[in-house]
Amino acid sequence: MRVIRNAIRAVLLDVDFYNAAEVDTRLTGQAGLIVVIASGLAGVGSAIALEDVSVLAAVLGGIVAGVVGWLLWSLASWLIGTRVFGGEATYSAMLRVIGFAYTPLAIGVIPWLGFPGAAWMLVAAVVAFREGLDISTPKAIGTMAVGWSLWLGVTVVLNLVLDFNLNARWPFPG
CA distances to 135, 146, 165 from 96, in Å: 17, 19, 26
Cα–Cα distance, 36 to 103 (Å, whole number): 10
Cα gap 139→157, rounded to integer Å = 27
Which region holds residue 140: left if phi is over 0, alpha if psi is between -120 and 50, else beta? Answer: alpha
100 and 31 Cβ atoms separated by less than 8 Å: yes
In whole angstroms, give the CA distance from residue 172 to residue 45. 10
What confidence tens digit (pLDDT) does each residue in 94-122 have?
999 999 999 999 999 998 898 899 999 99
Q: What's the whole-number mean pLDDT along residues 51-77?
A: 86
Q: What is the pLDDT of residue 171?
A: 45
Mean pLDDT in the chain?
88
Angle at 37 between CA 7 and CA 27, to 5 degrees: 45
- C-alpha 31 chain-centroid distance: 10
What pLDDT, in 10s, does the model give residues 139-157? 999 999 998 888 788 777 7
Which residue in 80, 64, 166 sits closest to 129, CA to CA? 80
Q: pLDDT confidence of 89, banded at 50, 70, 90? A: very high
Examine the pLDDT at 169 and tell me if it is beyond 50: no
Instruction: Report the pLDDT value the prediction gives residue 20, as an integer from 0 to 100.
Output: 96
Name the residue ranges covered by the structural domains of the chain. Answer: 2-162
Segment 12-63, tens digit of pLDDT: 999 999 999 999 999 999 999 999 999 999 989 888 887 777 888 888 888 8
Interior/surface letters 122-152, b for 16+ CB within 10 angstroms, e for the rest: eebbbbbbbbbbbbeeebbbbbbebbbebbe
Is pLDDT above 50 for 65?
yes
Would the pLDDT of 134 be above 60? Answer: yes
